[in-house]
A and B are shown apart, each in its own frame.
Chain A
Amino acid sequence: MEFKTQTAQQDVLKVYLDSLLQEVLPEVDELKSVVKEEVSPEPAPTISVPVKKVVIPAWATTEFESLLFTAGGLKLSIPLVKSNGILAWDSVDLTPMPGHKLWYLGIISHQGKHVKVIDVLNFVTPSSYKVKPLKDRLQNIVLIEDANWGLACDSITGTLALQRDGVRWRTNRSKRPWLAGTVIEQMCALIDTDEFVRLLSNN
């Protein structure tokens, strides 16, 4: 019975909210003034406005799972299909590579492969670096690109099933091309791993 009352209550609430949040058309006198403005004698502009194109990666055309993790308090995620596993920071033996960029932490050996490990936070926002010494901060490594690369991060938060609409896709990727969009509800950055790897390799 409890269940039934619950739904009835929710129905009432839904009607209430739908009505409050309904986008209403402007009232008649407001409409008139709009019409007046629109029939101004100016010629219609002929220049075509560039259409904003949303770039949606192939893995996001249907519902997809994403892996959520944090790096220095920053919430990030990658499509689960692009991950090749997760390693615990304590369980790996990192060979540092001095003389490289700060975000390039070094190499680990995993299943006969050399995995290049990077500090995600420092790569993504170099200025917010120095929050804590690395060894206190980093707990996991997320493997991507056939385990050629490892993203060192603080913690894995979980996975999340996402619809295309759950993400605000970016329309222009000239700045931060690795950022595919934002997972809206979690306010979390969704990484386009292919772009990310391309940038890493170029650096």
Chain B
Amino acid sequence: MIVWAIANQKGGVGKTTTTISLAGILAQQEKRVLLVDLDPHASLTAYLGYQPDEVESGCYSLFIDKKAHIKPLINKTAFDQIDILCGSPALATLERQMGTRPGKGLVLQQTIKEVESDYDYLLIDCPPILGLLMVNALAACNLLLIPVQTEFLAIKGLERMERTLTMINQSRKKSLPYIIVPTMFDRRTRASVKALRVLRDNFTEHLWKKVIPIDTLFREASQAGKPLSFMTPEAKGVIAFRALLNSITVQSRVL
């Protein structure tokens, strides 16, 4: 099972969109995908048709119940190949309830072992804050995708994300590979073009060479509750995410 976390300490940069888009494409390639929604806002959960306030089994139980097993907490979605471990507002209270009990950053890493052979991919959508949940995601994944909006402030946020990652790597005495994914790129606006240039000049090594363009169909797909690739397979946004998936796979194939 390949585990990717999609995270950035900045909000609204395209994390959830990246998660669902990749899941859609993978599902269409006959891959079995488990989504984990670690965000108390639970946008991913809502996207796939669950009411976050009414979620009965999901991530929250996994953290709060010491003996919890992941399998019974997983829900199906309208898409055969995609299952979800739902998020819910109660996730926001975990930090308070568990404090920084030693080792609590490793709960996800430990519990997902149980579904190792049930899924080809596990994608974790993170909340935009550094805390227990994000730490769990970073400890559990083998690759981190950092979506970054091509806009000046977002790039500042990226520096913060990189510092966090460095610290987590130090704590774990391991280094986590990561890829920066420029999102919502609008070729017609100067700000976007300029931001992309700044990214290319300053984050060369980890930066994905292409971009996810702005595409209004993403919003429509979210209203329809479908990954965009199921709604409009040839949308430019889908083509871009397919290219991203391809770059990651080509890279991992030789490694």
B179 cross-chain contacts in A, Cβ below 8 A: 187
Q: Which residues of B contact A73 (CB under 8 A)?
A: 209, 247, 250-251
Segment among B99-107, B212-220, B227-235 that sits at the interface with chain A? B99-107
Considering the chains assembled together, what is the distance between the CA atoms of A188 and B105 in angstroms?
A: 27
Known: A20-B104, A128-B250. A166 touches B205 (CB 8 A): no
The yes or no answer to B11 lying at the interface (CB within 8 A) is no
Q: Is A202 an interface residue (CB 8 A)?
A: no
Which of A68, A74, A125, A157 has the most chain B CB atoms inside 10 A of its CB? A74
Tell me if B206 and A19 are in contact (CB < 8 A).
Answer: no
B55 on the A face (CB < 8 A): no
Tell whether A125 pairs with B205 under 8 Å between CB atoms, given A17-B168, A17-B171: no
Q: Which residues of the other chain, B, contact A166 by a CB distance below 8 angstroms? A: 175
* Min CB gap A189→B, angstroms: 5
Contact of A187 (CB < 8 Å), options: B101, B143, B209: B143
Q: Is the CB of B105 within 8 A of A158?
A: no
- Are B139 and A21 in contact, with the CB atoms below 8 A? yes
B103 and A22 contact, CB distance less than 8 A: yes
Chain B residues whose CB sits within 8 angstroms of the CB of A188 once the complex forms: 251
Q: Do B105 and A157 touch (CB < 8 A)?
A: no
- Minimum CB distance partner of B100 in chain A: A19
Chain A: which residue is nearest B248 at the CB level? A187
Q: Is B171 a contact partner of A14 (Cβ separation < 8 A)?
A: yes
- Given A124-B254, A125-B254, A187-B252, are A157 and B205 also a contact pair (CB < 8 Å)? yes
Taking the complex as formed, is B204 at the interface, i.e. its CB lies under 8 A from any CB of chain A? yes
Shortest Cβ gap from B161 to chain A (Å): 13
Chain B, residues 128-153, CB within 8 Å of chain A (1/0): the string is 00101001000100010000000000
A125 / chain B contacts, CB cutoff of 8 Å: 250, 253-254
The answer to whether A13 and B254 have CB atoms under 8 Å apart is: no
B233-255 contact mask (Cβ, 8 Å, vs A): 1 or 0: 00000000000000100111111
How many residues on chain A are close to B (CB under 8 Å)? 34
Cross-chain contact B177 with A189 (CB below 8 angstroms): no
Known interface pairs A157-B204, A187-B177; A74-B254 also in contact (CB < 8 Å): yes
Interface of A is mostly: mixed
Residue of A nearest to B105 (CB): A20
Given A10-B167, A184-B175, A16-B209 contact (CB < 8 Å):
no
> What residues on B are CB-neighbors of A17 within 8 Å?
105, 135, 167-168, 171
The answer to whether B188 has its CB under 8 Å from any CB of chain A is no
Q: Which of B103, B170, B178 contacts A20 (CB 8 A)?
A: B103
Nearest-CB residue, chain B, relative to A6: B163
Tell me if A18 counts as interface (CB < 8 A to partner B): yes
Is B172 on the interface with A (CB-CB < 8 A)? yes
Among residues of A, the one whose C-beta sits closest to the C-beta of B98 is A20
Complex interface bits, A167-203 against B, C-beta within 8 A gives 1, otherwise 0: 0000000001001001011111100000000000000
Listed from nearest, the 10 A-B pairs whose CB atoms lie closest are A20-B105, A24-B103, A187-B177, A22-B102, A21-B105, A21-B171, A17-B171, A185-B175, A19-B100, A184-B175
What are 22 of the A-B contact pairs (CB < 8 Å)? A14-B170, A16-B100, A17-B105, A19-B102, A20-B105, A20-B106, A20-B135, A21-B103, A22-B102, A24-B102, A24-B103, A70-B209, A176-B254, A179-B255, A185-B175, A185-B176, A185-B206, A186-B205, A187-B179, A187-B251, A188-B251, A189-B255
Which residues of B come within 8 Å of A, CB atoms?
100-106, 130, 132, 135, 139, 143, 164, 167-168, 170-172, 174-179, 204-206, 209, 247, 250-255
- Given A157-B204, A158-B205, A184-B175, 6 further pairs, Cβ under 8 A: A73-B250, A124-B254, A128-B250, A157-B205, A185-B176, A186-B205
